[in-house]
Amino acid sequence: MVSTGDLTLSSLGLDVDPAMDASVSATLAAVEEALRGHVASADPLVAEAARHLADAGGKRFRPLLVALGAQFGDPTSPQVVDAANVVELTHLATLYHDDVMDEATVRRGAPSANARWGNSVAILVGDYLFAQAADLAAQLGTEAVHLQAQTFARLVHGQIAETVGPRGSDPIEHYLHVIAEKTASLIATAARFGGLFSGARPEHVEALARYGETIGIAFQLSDDLLDIASESVQSGKTPGTDLREGVPTLPVLYALAGDDTDASAVRLRELLSAGPITDDALHAEALTLLRESAAMKQARETVRTYAEEARARLAPLPAGEAKRTMEALCDFIADRTS
């Protein structure tokens, strides 16, 4: 069985209109039901491996953006569910490839596909899911195919940029560019698809896409901050995983770029400059210093800046419960790492 996901308007604790909540929840439930068919295969191994991450659940943030965007048209259009599956299948496919490149052993609390079946199978299953997404996009029409292909190109550019590194450019600008290409591009397409396939007005579709791009950056940045700030598995992984793996997220980059001369800042830069922090004692020290650092505060302010920019992107949309809900989502993302 495919998980129902763990990110709905109700689970976020947003103060939303009950009818809005019911509409979005109905769309997400239909997306989950359809997803079972789209990850299926006549080959038992492919079927099991393709179902692996879908079964593990996840936030379903991209289908949520489709469902919210559809509120500006006809949210009951069957094309809305298909569009949400295009973006979720694309997202799932990227996770298989990411885990191979990162040599990850765990994803969503379960063994990663590459750890369970090997790199070759994981890559090929990711390719299969991309193919399923493309086939479904073709059923939606040439515009959907074009948009999905454009988004896929951005995802690839983002992955390449992350792989090769800054190459002399500013590390913080490079990091934000990678997030825009690798994460925000698909979230922007999700919001665009919601408006487009519900029949929303063209100017509203464009506003939704701009909102999706900006809220997508804020969402990924807040996830990165949760990896540091959370005391539990709120972020979906053990706190401090990025530090242990040497992944330079925004708070780390701010800390490394800082010029504070107080003892804690100097010590933090010393620890972070060494790369992956695998020693348990040093890891605990670095995590404590980073949580209390000016760099962490600056990163939180950056998340809030993007969340507020996303709110501003909603200006062309008509007032009502749908717009108010999307504004509330900005507040949720800005506040979740406080």
The shares of helix, strand and coil residues in the chain, as percent rounded to the nearest 5, are: 75, 0, 25
The answer to which of 89-103, 132-146, 276-290 has the lowest mean pLDDT is 89-103
Cβ burial of 41 (10 Å; 0-12, 13-18, 19+) is: middle
Q: Which helix (H) or strand (E) holds 151?
A: helix 142-164
CB atoms within 10 A of CB 117: 17
261, 190: one domain: no
Of 149, 173, 200, which residue sits at a domain end?
200
pLDDT at 5 over 80: no
336 versus 263: the higher-pLDDT residue is 263
Q: Are residues 225 and 196 in the same domain?
A: no
* Burial (0-12, 13-18, 19+ Cβ within 10 Å), 172: middle
Q: Is residue 208 part of a domain?
A: no
Angle between helix axes 44-55 and 119-140 (nearest 10 degrees) is 80
Are residue 284 and residue 319 in the same domain, yes or no? yes
Q: Does 189 share its domain with 224?
A: no
CATH of the domain at 13: 1.10.600.10
Q: Long-range contacts: 109-116, Cβ < 8 Å, 24+?
A: 109/56, 109/233, 109/236, 110/52, 110/56, 113/49, 113/52, 113/53, 116/49, 116/52
Say whether pLDDT at 35 is over 80.
yes
pTM for the model stands at: 0.93
Nearest to 96 by CA among 51, 135, 134: 51
**Do 190 and 55 belong together in one domain?**
yes
Residue 9 structural domain: 1-200
pLDDT score at 301 = 97
Measured distance CA(107)–CA(105) in Å, rounded: 7
113 lies in the same domain as 192 = yes
- Residue 264: inside a domain: yes
Q: Is 269 found in the same domain as 150?
A: no
Query: Averaged over 163-174, what is the pLDDT?
Result: 94
% of residues, the chain, pLDDT over 90:
75
**Which pLDDT does position 117 carry in this prediction?**
87
Confidence of residue 7 (pLDDT cuts 50, 70, 90): low
Check the CA dihedral 166-247-154-149 and report its sign. positive
- Residue 309 has a pLDDT of 98
Determine the distance from the C-alpha atom of residue 37 to the mean position of all C-alpha atoms in its chain, rounded to a whole number: 23
Q: Do 7 and 134 reside in the same domain of the chain?
A: yes
DSSP-derived 3-state class of residue 140: helix
In a domain, 213, yes or no: no
For the chain, give the mean pLDDT.
91
Return the minimum-mean-pLDDT range out of 98-112, 128-142, 150-164, 298-312: 98-112
Q: Which of 165, 200, 235 is the last residue of a domain?
A: 200
Residue where the block lists tokens 């005391």: 231
Q: What would the pLDDT profile of 268-295 be if each residue is shown by its tens digit?
A: 999 999 889 999 999 999 999 999 999 9
Q: Looking at residue 232, what is its pLDDT?
A: 57
Beta bridge partners of 107: 110
Cα-based angle 29, 17, 195 (whole degrees, multiple of 5):
60
- H-assigned helices in 230-313: 241-245, 250-257, 263-273, 280-291, 294-313
Q: Is residue 20 part of a domain?
A: yes
Query: 102 falls in which pLDDT band (50, 70, 90)?
Result: confident
Choose between 88 and 52: higher pLDDT: 88
Are residues 177 and 54 part of one domain? yes
Whether residue 54 is found in the same domain as residue 126? yes
Tokens 């770029």 found at = 257
Decide: 270 and 290 in contact? Cβ < 8 Å.
no
> For residue 110, what is the enclosing H or E element?
strand 110-111
* Residue 207 in domain: no
